[in-house]
Amino acid sequence: MASYAYMKVHVKGNVRVLAICDEEILGKTFREGKLKIEVKKEFYGDKKVLLDEVFEAIENADIVNMVGENVVNEAIRRGCVLEEGVIRIAGIPHVQIVKL
């Protein structure tokens, strides 16, 4: 079965920020202690894409904000991020990639 995610590209000057989240967590908020992540449609978008499209888009992004089990685990599997770089908020994995 194909996996989907929501994705949105934000452009500010010469910087391309790619926001990606698992489809089932869009619109939800997760809290743990002082940490909080809001998976808002305004930031993560409403464009539903296959995971393969997500990883094509990562190639053209300067900063990537990724949240959710499916997208983060696939990023680890593909070698885009290290597992040690992932934080969890209320059990939900979150990672950011910044290309220098």
Give the domain CATH number at 74.
3.30.1860.10
The Cα angle at residue 40 between residues 54 and 18, in degrees rounded to 5: 30
DSSP H or E run through 17: strand 15-22
Number of domains in the chain: 1
Would you say residue 4 has pLDDT above 80?
A: yes
Report the distance separating Cα 65 and Cα 19, nearest Å. 5
Tens of pLDDT, residue by residue over 66-99, are: 999 999 999 999 999 999 999 999 999 999 999 9
The pTM for the full model equals: 0.92
- Find the domain containing 80 and state its range: 4-98
Q: Where are the alpha helices (DSSP H) in 9-98?
A: 41-44, 51-58, 69-77
